[in-house]
Structure 1
Amino acid sequence: MAWAATAALGLCTAGWLTLAPSPSGSAGRDGGGPAKAKKATGLTAAVSAPFSAFTEGYDCYRIPTLVTTKDGTLLAIAEARTASCNDIGDIDIVLKRSTDEGRTWGPMQVIRGTGDPGAYGNPVPVVDSASGRLTLLHAYSTWTPDTDGNRVRGPRELRLAHSTDDGASWTTDPAPQPQLKGADWAWVSVGPGHGIQLTPTRPDRPGRLVVSADYRTESGESGAQLLYSDDGGLTWKPGARWGAPEGTPAPNEPALTQLPDGRIYVNARSTATCGTPDHRIAAIVEDAAAPAVPDPGFRPVTDLPAPPAAGSVLQLPGGPLLLSAPSRPGAEFSDRWTLAVRTSKDEGRTWSKDGAVVLRERAGYSDMTVLPGGRVGLLYETANGTPHGYVKFTAFGPHELQAATEDLTPRRTTDATPFHHHAVVHGAPRLGNRPDGGKAMRFDGKDDFLRLVDCPDQLRIGDGDFAVATWVKYKTRGQDRDSGLRQPLFWAYGQGPAARQLRIEADPATGRLEATVNAGTGPASVTAPTRTDDDAWHHVVLQRRGTRLELSVDGAPPATTGLAPDHMDFRPTGAFTVHLGTQPDYKAFYAGALDDVRVYGRALSANDTARLRAGNDLTDQLRVHLPFDRVW
């Protein structure tokens, strides 16, 4: 059923733009209402899988794009990466065609890259409805290994390819398009996602073709630029541009669509990651050929939980504006989970808190198109344990989107400091009563955990003194002894022998807590002097005082170890997350309770820790405080 045709059923502007929350009241693990209720079913996760990792001569497929040709053929286009999923390397552009709206796909075609070890990437197709011609803008760069074996990207340029037979064959122009790259640009790319054709302004002229691009100058300015063609895609010119200096939110990987009034809506991934929950940025352009994006230019899209990732926007004829993107909050690439489709009823100024989940597991980039029958096709990245590698396809109509709608608002528990670093709640940890009054957070050891997201500076511990204090209550289970897995209580930053990190774990072999720090030079650990796995409450303090790492339990003399100079600074250099109840790879979970979790930017005295054990507050240099009084 076409979207415009649903108006008679009251599902177009009256229903689609005011989607009601799902009766379940929960989005499951990564979204959710106040409690873990029955999960909404979501949309069909996959109708087909056009590209699968480690098949057809390639290890990894990324950067999917989807387009419907004039004659109704569906084209799935992606980067095909050899040897690894690395962004730099031998990368081809591949295509599969479907004549049954994505249920089955024809054989794979290599559009660019055969016999060339260079990197062809960011394919952006756009269709000229007058001639049927397909234009594929894409990027190209060489690469070389350095003395350490790392891949170094060479100069990057834009190129063109064309098809006049619905993508069955392609003519390619190996020459770069220098007019599309500024003289001082250190980086240029297009998309990801398909381009658009604007509504014709004159009956004797086809609509203008428009593609999005992004760039970075030698001086550090980043931004977006529209590229346009007025001759059906044969030649291209640079159009409206907007940039921002380094350190200021700027658009990256922009997606675009035409609004009903003819203007162009551009929604992009933001270069801002840490210290903000706003990871998408948007602008409206009236004239793609203008020299600049009009004021106010690109502005953060607020109240839209999303990690840094490319998304897709699609204005449906007679229907809502759609956005597909991962919906899990966070600033890291590893936060690309829970791909969902949201709607906007005010031309993208705000987005619904409700949406339809496509996949609750890891998922990355996506692209949408209107299928010949009027449904929406969606092509997206996913894999086992990573957001990338496979490219899958699904489709949905208005009734399916309506039925799958649920509340995507992340559940949180309060940070009582003025910084308001409220922790995101995953799974269904319970607030239980403590015998001495108050509440505590109880974790089931299966899929319950909390995250402190968006890498605030207050939690970026450097080489100075700090303290982590919390109440713990747990009992070593038989299954923990059998598996030998340590239970992570508190884990800040990265994971692995060379990753900067700070963690507290319960060791099932000894029944004791162990704390570890790593400045990227190897771990330094300290083990609590007494057992804590007796199912009783214990107050635990991990801190660094000068060059000593200390771990104390219930106010007793701490276990200590000295830190060498190269073990002192484990401050993360990029985006980070603090996990409670799990570790970054989610392969171990804590079964027990936590209460009154605090992080200080200083060491605590014996008097300080006594005050905390007695239930008194201590706010001097308090960076985060989770009292676990409610989940909201």
Structure 2
Amino acid sequence: MAERKVRMFVYISCFVFLSTVTSSPIPSVNVKPVSPVVVEEQLIWLSGGSEGEVDIYRTPLLVATPRGSLLVLCGARKYSSGDAGPKFLAIRRSTDKGQTWSPTAFVTDDRSPDGFNPGSIFVDETTSTIFVMYVHCAHHYKCNVSTLYLINSTDDGLTWSHPRNISEQVGTATFDPGPGYGVQKKLDPYKGRLIVCGHGDQQHSGVFCLLSDDHGNTWRYGGTRKSIPYNQSKKAGDFDPDENQPLELPDGSILLNARNEHTYHCHCRVIMRSFDGAESFPLENLYFDEKLIEPRAMASQWYSNGVLFFSNPAHQTKRINLTLRWSYDNGTTWASSLTVWPEASGYSGMTMLGEDSEHLYIFYEKGVKSSIESMSLAKVALYGGL
């Protein structure tokens, strides 16, 4: 059965999906218009017990390292597809722009009945350190206290440190990073700051950001946007921004794109913006992007050369139709879109290699009947062509 799935995915991935053009604003004269097309795709992990104790691979993390490698990570769920339960943190590494990959390695093993949730990956460019922040006991099914951990690699992802408990600095209230990536500010204010944003639990939910101004040694809480109501369970229609992804725009502001967990106002994304380095997310800078429809899932955003990219399963209720959109005005309007995979698809992450401004990588959950059947990496040529 697993072999048939592999053959099916390889066959389907040979197709190149062209963009669906919509009415769009004309890009700035200083911005080169993009015409994305998927030119390569590789199956990274196949669920179903094909590797050791792992039942399901979920929650994609993707990063380009300072040395030009690509790292893919995910939560390798040992016994079931549910969020709770023990997991490995699985990793593979490519040093040739995604052409070949190292064998799967397991960086952490939580050995716990109520396991960890990955998490956010981010890079301190100053120290060339790669970090992964993750939470243990996020769901409180078989444990009571959440603990936030940080691991790091200083050798391009080859080896990783022992987990460091940073709940000693920020407390034990549930903080579930990302999932996705954190950012290091390249511009003022607070140039060099590390920012990791995430969400809380069912009662104490909303968007929360952790900040470090000393290269990840110490952390504190920054901007928040709490759910309404707070400190009580939620129901359909409540305001509850959840899984989220920050990025830095060219003016130094932080743009945060969040899951709308209980579909307040719409089946669409919640957008926030901070002009003080994620110290705050004022209410006047919050809006709902009704163009970015969603079925309540993780999404990703990326910025390069005047273009903002966004990926998610573009459907109001089903995790299908993984779509890449792009904007020339920081998301005020969306110029056009590309269907990356029309069938079952879920969480996604994006990155670009530092020396290659013409290709975007999308790592996402992919399937035919279910999005948790596999995890795949698509390479997108931003200016067309094979």
Q: TM-score range by the shorter chain?
A: 0.7 to 0.9
Partner of 2:177: 190
Report if the CA contact (8 A) 2:308-2:327 is conserved.
yes
Report if the CA contact (8 A) 2:86-2:110 is conserved.
no
Distance, in Å, in 2 between the alignment partners of 1:228 and 1:137 is 12
Partner of 2:38: 43
Partner of 1:208: 193
Report if the CA contact (8 A) 2:267-2:316 is conserved.
no
SS at match of 1:70: coil
Q: What is the CA distance between 1:287 and its match in structure 2?
A: 1.8
SS at match of 2:214: coil
Report if the CA contact (8 A) 1:89-1:143 is conserved.
no
SS at match of 2:326: strand
Q: What is the CA distance between 1:302 and its match in structure 2?
A: 1.8
SS at match of 1:65: strand
Is 2:145 aligned against 1:155? yes
Give 2:50's aligned amino acid: T
**Deviations for 1:531-557, whole angstroms, at most 9, x for unmatched residues?**
xxxxxxxxxxxxxxxxxxxxxxxxxxx
**Deviations for 1:246-304, whole angstroms, at most 9, x for unmatched residues?**
35323110111111111010001112337x543210101112352x3123253221232
Is 2:139 aligned against 1:139? no
| TM superposition score normalised by structure 2 | 0.82
Q: What is the CA distance between 1:47 and its match in structure 2?
A: 1.9
Q: What is the CA distance between 1:305 and its match in structure 2?
A: 2.4
Partner of 2:88: 92
Aligned counterpart in structure 1 of residue 214 of structure 2, from 221, 228, 231: 231
Q: Once the two structures are aligned, what percentage of the paired residues are identical?
A: 28
Report if the CA contact (8 A) 2:138-2:176 is conserved.
no
Report if the CA contact (8 A) 2:117-2:138 is conserved.
no
Distance 1:91 1:298, change over 3 A: farther
Partner of 1:240: 223
Give 2:180's aligned amino acid: G
- Mapping of residues 227-376 of structure 1, within 5 Å: 227-246=210-229, 247-273=237-263, 276-288=265-277, 290=279, 292-316=280-304, 318-330=305-317, 335-352=318-335, 354-371=336-353, 372-374=355-357, 375-376=359-360
Structure 1 residues without counterparts, runs of 5 or longer: 1-10, 21-40, 145-150, 405-632
Distance, in Å, in 2 between the alignment partners of 1:297 and 1:139 is 29
Partner of 1:129: 125
Q: What is the CA distance between 1:128 and its match in structure 2?
A: 0.9
Give 1:207's aligned amino acid: G
Q: What is the CA distance between 1:111 and its match in structure 2?
A: 1.5
Give 1:74's aligned amino acid: L
Q: What is the CA distance between 1:50 and its match in structure 2?
A: 1.9
Distance 1:305 1:179, change over 3 A: same
Structure 2 residues without counterparts, runs of 5 or longer: 1-25, 230-236
Q: Which has the larger radius of gyration?
A: 1
Q: What is the CA distance between 1:393 and its match in structure 2?
A: 0.3
Q: What is the CA distance between 1:381 and its match in structure 2?
A: 0.5
Give 2:225's aligned amino acid: W
CA RMSD of aligned residues (A): 2.8
Q: What is the CA distance between 1:48 and its match in structure 2?
A: 1.4
Distance, in Å, in 1 between the alignment partners of 2:352 and 2:176 is 25
Aligned counterpart in structure 2 of residue 108 of structure 1, from 84, 104, 108: 104
Partner of 1:384: 368
Point out which structure has higher relative CO (alpha carbons under 8 A, 6+ apart): 2
Distance, in Å, in 2 between the alignment partners of 1:98 and 1:65 is 14
Distance, in Å, in 2 between the alignment partners of 1:68 and 1:142 is 27
Distance, in Å, in 1 between the alignment partners of 2:110 and 2:325 is 38
Report if the CA contact (8 A) 2:257-2:271 is conserved.
yes
Distance, in Å, in 2 between the alignment partners of 1:155 and 1:199 is 35
Q: What is the CA distance between 1:143 and its match in structure 2?
A: 7.8
Give 2:193's aligned amino acid: R
| TM superposition score normalised by structure 1 | 0.52
Report if the CA contact (8 A) 1:265-1:348 is conserved.
no
Give 2:228's aligned amino acid: P
Q: What is the CA distance between 1:110 and its match in structure 2?
A: 1.4
Give 1:267's aligned amino acid: N
Report if the CA contact (8 A) 1:344-1:351 is conserved.
yes
Distance, in Å, in 2 between the alignment partners of 1:130 and 1:315 is 20
Distance, in Å, in 1 between the alignment partners of 2:248 and 2:356 is 20
Q: What is the CA distance between 1:154 and its match in structure 2?
A: 4.1
Distance 1:384 1:82, change over 3 A: farther
